[in-house]
Amino acid sequence: MKRILFTAAAIFSILYGSAQAPADSSGFKSRKLKLEEINLVSSYYKQDGNNAAVTGGIGSQKLADIANVFDVKLTRYDKKLRKNNFGIELGVDHYTSASSDKVDLSANSSASHAETRFYPTFSWSRVNEQKGTTIGGALSSSSEYDYQSFGGNLSFAKKSNNKNGEFTAKFQTYLDRLKIILPVELRTYGNATQRNYPTSARNTYAASFSYSQIINERLQVMLLADAVQQNGYLSLPFHRVYFSDGSVHQENLPSSRIKIPLGLRASYFAGDRFIVKTYYRFYTDNWGIIAHTLDLEVPVKVTSFFSISPFYRFYSQTASNYFAAYKLHTAKTLYHTSNYDQSAFYSNFFGAGFRFAPPKGLFGNPRFSNLEIRYGHYVKNINFNANIISMNLTFK
C-alpha cells in the first residue's frame, strides 16, 4: 500500500506542474491535452462463510482482498471543437483464500492460496456538443495465476433535441483463457506446472441499452436492458462436487448461457439537501435463475462540503437447474455444481458513504478536490457475511 501511495504522490507532483496552463478568458477551447482528474481508489474486503465450492459446498469461505486502482482522465478538443476524453486505469488486487488453498487437500499451502491480479484499461470517447452525440471505446486486460482475459467495447450515445433525454448503446466482448487446474485427486496430466496446464476458452458478448429522461427539475429516470451471451468453458475446474455415493467429481456446467437483466433507476431531488436514489433490476437466464434487486440510497448534504449517503440493497434469486448441495447429486445428472452462488438465497447489503469536499481542497491544497470513504456490510441467509471499506481520493 505504501508503495502505491508514494507512486501516486510522485505522479501527482509531475502532473501538477503540467496542468498549470494559464486560463484563457476569450472563451477559446485549448486543443492541448489537459488533465481533468486523477482518482486513487483503495479498498479492503473480507468475507466468511461455510459453503466453499472448492470443497463441494462445505468448508471455510474465508477470503481477504486488498485492491488499488489508479485512474487518470485527460481531455483534448480537436479542430472541430469536439471534446475527446482519454482514460488510463491501472488496477491491482491481492487476495488470500482459505477455500482456494484446498485445491490440493494434502498441501499445507497451495499456489492458489494467495493470488495477485492486474487489470489495466484504456478508454476513449468523443463528445460532439453541437450534435449531442458521444462515441467511444475501450480495451482492457486482466491477468492472474490461472486466468487471462482481454476485453473491448464500443459505445454510442445520442441526446434528444431538448437535451432532456439520452439514448446509450454499448457492445462489449471478453475473450478469456482458463488454466484447467483440477482438484489434485482428479488430475490425469501428471506433474503439470503453472506453464503447462491445459487451457480452455470462455467468451462473453454483451449488448447494453439505456434511456435516461429528465421528467422535471426534481425527477430523473433511466431504463436499462442488457443481453449477455457466454460460451466455452463456463465451469470452474477446481470446484468439487460430491455425489450421493460419496464419489468426488469436477463441476460440470453447460457450455453456453444467456442472461437478460432489465432495470429501472430513478433519482428524486427532495430539496437542497436530499436526493433519493432508487433502483430495481429483474434478471433471468437459461440456467433457471430468476433474481430481483432493490436498491435505495439517500445522499444527505450535511454542510456545503460534507455529505452522508446511507444505502441498502436487497437481492433474492432462485436456484440454478444444476445446483445441489453436498452429496445430493447423483450419477443421473449430466450437469452438476455445488457452488452456492448458483443456489437459492437472499441477501442484504447496507452501509454508508462519507464525502468531504472542502472549498479550499483537502489538506489546504485545492488540487485535492474530495475524499470519499464508503463502508458496507453484506450478509446472505446461507451462513455468509462480508465487509468492505473503500477510499476514493480525487485530484484535479
- CA R_g for the chain: 24
Query: Does the predicted model carry a pTM greater than 0.95?
Result: no
Q: Minimal CA–CA distance to 74: which of 39, 34, 38?
A: 34
Fold annotation for 100-107+125-395: Porin (2.40.160)
Q: By the 8 A CB rule, do 47 and 379 touch? A: no
Q: Tens of pLDDT along 284-343?
A: 999 999 999 999 999 999 998 999 999 999 999 999 999 999 999 999 999 999 999 999
Q: Tens of pLDDT along 50-81?
A: 999 999 999 999 999 999 999 999 999 999 99
Q: Tens of pLDDT along 9-26?
A: 443 443 444 444 444 444
The rounded distance, in Å, linking the Cα atoms of 260 and 282 is 8
Query: pLDDT over 90 for what percent of the chain?
Result: 76
CA 300 to chain centroid: 25
Structural domain boundaries in the chain: 100-107+125-395
Q: Minimal CA–CA distance to 277: which of 285, 267, 287, 286?
A: 267
Burial of 51 (0-12, 13-18, 19+ CB in 10 A): buried
State residue 224's pLDDT score: 98
Grid coordinates 437535451 are at which residue? Answer: 163
Q: Minimal CA–CA distance to 257: which of 299, 280, 277, 286?
A: 286
The rounded distance, in Å, linking the Cα atoms of 303 and 307 is 7
Q: Tens of pLDDT along 188-241?
A: 765 555 557 889 999 999 999 999 999 999 999 999 999 999 999 999 999 999
Higher pLDDT, 103 or 99: 103
